């Protein structure tokens, strides 16, 4: 079967990276059934032939208007599709969409009419925010890490930056490689525009946000970097939980040691 990826090695590479990360999410145990979703902005890989491709779906509404996305293209996981299937067959479990000129609707253009993720409003709102703020980030990943989600069931961890400081203090890597910390978004209905709007507000301050009692959302230069930040935070959560299960409260690195890292690595916060 003909694919939009044929003779487009750059675009094919981007989709292969999504598939690779989808496999990691499944292996990590973060992607039960259809849990989680990934989108990437592929507009820079779109040529005139793609621009001329006829829609293979009806016009579908995003649910919100996103002015910076006019004419943009995204590869999106399909709703109800499994990460473990996206890993093996990305073009059967995801699709490429084009945002229409009204910035409020889209069409699917390739390869199959796979309806995008139910969290599309959140994903596209994040991409819209990123473009609007001049960011070069192209990827958004949402997943359900067991350890991090469990921590959101404790109200004490939901206060601003409590979890960020705790996770940063577990290992130097987390302070260095997730330098903007973890934002907290109070529970909101999955797939709602309310959740999308709350997510975007937090992105001004954080690259990774926690959807209370649901999952995390990360943005990054590419899908690997977005995954790495979640993975690093999850490693810290594992260290905390392992110490607790051994019967003690972990010491954590002191504020002074974390400040030393901030200076040494020239970190933003
Ligand atoms: P989708 O299958 O629609 O992507 O939904 C999965 C999910 O994690 C919703 O929050
Ligand atoms: Zn989810």
User: How far apart are alpha carbons 108 and 98 in whole angstroms?
Assistant: 6
CATH of 9-265, one of 3.40.50.1400, 3.40.225.10, 3.30.1640.10, 3.30.365.10: 3.40.225.10
pTM strictly above 0.95: yes
Closest CA to 152 of 117, 187, 200, 188: 187
pLDDT in tens, 169-204: 999 999 999 999 999 999 999 999 999 999 999 999
Indicate whether 1 pLDDT > 90: no
- Indicate which ligand has the atom closest to the C-alpha of 77: 1
Domain range list for the chain: 9-265
Closest CA to 34 of 70, 69, 86, 75: 86
**Residue 40 forms beta bridges with which residues?**
75, 139
CA of 248 to the centre of ligand 2 (A): 32
- Beta strand pairing call for 105-110 and 94-99: antiparallel
CA of 116 to the centre of ligand 1 (A): 9
Whether residue 192 has its Cβ less than 6 Å from ligand 1:
no
pLDDT in tens, 4-61: 999 999 999 999 999 999 999 999 999 999 999 999 999 999 999 999 999 999 999 9
- Indicate which ligand has the atom closest to the C-alpha of 38: 1
CA of 32 to the centre of ligand 2 (A): 10
Whether residue 34 has its Cβ less than 6 Å from ligand 1:
yes
Residue ranges in 189-222 assigned as alpha helix (H): 193-203
Q: What percent of the chain has pLDDT over 90?
A: 100
- Tell me the average pLDDT across 244-251: 98
Closest CA to 129 of 45, 60, 224, 41: 41
Whether residue 35 has its Cβ less than 6 Å from ligand 1:
yes
The band of 243, judged by pLDDT with boundaries at 50, 70 and 90, is: very high
- Give residues with Cβ within 8 angstroms of 70, minimum separation 6: 99, 101, 103
Q: Which residues are part of the catalytic machinery?
A: 119
Q: Looking at the CA of residue 78, tell me the nearest atom of ligand 1.
A: 4
CA of 193 to the centre of ligand 1 (A): 14
Q: What pLDDT sits at residue 49?
A: 98
């Amino acid at each position: 079967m003909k694919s939009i990826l044929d003779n487009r090695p750059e675009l094919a590479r981007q989709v292969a990276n999504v598939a690779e990360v989808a496999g990691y999410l499944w292996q990590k145990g973060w992607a039960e059934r259809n849990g989680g979703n990934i989108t990437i902005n592929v507009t820079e890989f779109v040529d005139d032939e793609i621009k001329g491709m006829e829609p293979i779906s009806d016009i579908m509404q995003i649910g919100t208007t996103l002015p910076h996305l006019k004419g943009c293209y995204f590869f999106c996981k399909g709703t109800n599709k499994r990460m473990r299937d996206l890993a093996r067959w990305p073009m059967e479990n995801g699709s490429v969409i084009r945002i229409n000129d009204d910035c409020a609707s889209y069409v699917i253009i390739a390869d199959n009419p796979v309806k995008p993720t139910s969290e599309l409003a959140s994903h596209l709102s994040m991409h819209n925010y990123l473009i609007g703020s001049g960011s070069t980030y192209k990827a958004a990943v949402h997943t359900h890490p067991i350890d991090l989600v469990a921590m959101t069931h404790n109200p004490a961890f939901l206060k601003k930056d409590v979890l960020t400081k705790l996770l940063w203090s577990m290992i130097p890597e987390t302070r260095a490689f997730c330098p903007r910390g973890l934002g907290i978004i109070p529970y909101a209905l999955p797939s709602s525009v309310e959740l999308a709007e709350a997510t975007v507000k937090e992105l001004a301050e954080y690259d990774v946000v926690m959807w209370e009692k649901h999952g995390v959302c990360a943005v990054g230069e590419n899908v690997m970097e977005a995954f790495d930040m979640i993975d690093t935070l999850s490693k810290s959560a594992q260290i905390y939980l392992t110490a607790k299960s051994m019967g003690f409260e972990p010491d954590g690195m002191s504020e002074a040691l974390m400040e030393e890292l901030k200076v040494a690595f020239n970190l933003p916060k």
